[in-house]
Amino acid sequence: MRIDLVTIFPRACEAALGEGIVRRAIDRGLADVRVHDLRDHTADRHRTVDDVSYGGGPGMVLKAEPLFKAVEAITAEGPVDAVVLTSPQGRRFTQAEAARLAALGHIVLLCGRYEGVDERVRTALATEALSIGDYVLSGGELPALVIVDAVVRLLPGAVGDEQSVEADSFSRGLLDYPHFTRPAEFRGLRVPDVLLSGNHGEIRRWRKREALARTLALRPDLLPHAELDDEAREMLRAMRDERGAEHGRH
């Protein structure tokens, strides 16, 4: 898979891509991640990428021309499946979105900055816009890197243990179950006995129950869209009945 990032801070992106799973995926040839300096696609000696907004107002806006030229230079090397603009006006980035992008062969990520980008970039250049959350950041570099990390780790072979990817939070629409490691007791805090029992069936059921309970308590909004088998649905029904009974006693 190939991913191109277009940014005015290429060194910041390159530093983040030089570590961890993404770096290993690049080294193994599983992902081809390229960072492009938007200023290389300007025509003036000051390498200007931004300008004031028509109609006035605070802040600067990224110009359309350099972004169009950057994408045209990338597409000249081969077809692109998606041109993604990182923007607070975009669709919420989720695990399902990561899986969708990971199935593509080539995507381009445009990193916004300042007050945003010329609207013609959004309407005529980008094929979609994605947001990683409802908060304000200084620019689109961090969201783009979040997207890269989430997408690349889904590529076959990027993570050493494929079961680890399948069990991740949100992979099936649930938060992850609790994890423990040695020692079995630390400062009076013990690992649940079931995890020490060696009974793999009970461990599996405990983990499923805990994932459901954690999601019900912390992110109940995820449950209507979660992938639940019959056993999980029965567990969830029992949890809700128990919570309803507790509320009724208060």
Rounded CA-CA distance 97/119 in Å is 23
- What does 31-69 look like in DSSP terms, one character per residue? -EEEEEEGGGG--STT---EEEPTT--SSEEE-HHHHHH
Q: Is 131 in contact with 91 (CB distance < 8 Å)?
A: yes
- Among candidate residues 51, 65, 115, 149, the one labeled active-site is 115
Residue 88 annotated among the catalytic residues of the structure: yes
Rounded CA-CA distance 27/158 in Å is 10
List C-alpha distances in Å: 92 to 86, 89, 132, 152.
Answer: 10, 9, 6, 18
Residue 4 in tokens: 């191109």
Q: How far is CA 136 from the centre of its chain?
A: 17
Strands 185-186 and 189-190: antiparallel
Only one residue has tokens 């990193």, namely 111
- Among candidate residues 14, 51, 168, 176, the one labeled active-site is 168
Q: Where are the alpha helices (DSSP H) in the chain?
A: 10-17, 20-27, 64-75, 95-102, 119-124, 141-152, 162-166, 193-196, 200-218, 230-249
Residue 207 annotated among the catalytic residues of the structure: no
Residue 153 annotated among the catalytic residues of the structure: yes
In a 13 Å sphere around the CA of 238, the CA atoms on its Cβ side amount to: 10
- Among candidate residues 14, 88, 176, 214, the one labeled active-site is 88
> Which are the catalytic amino acids?
88, 115, 153, 168
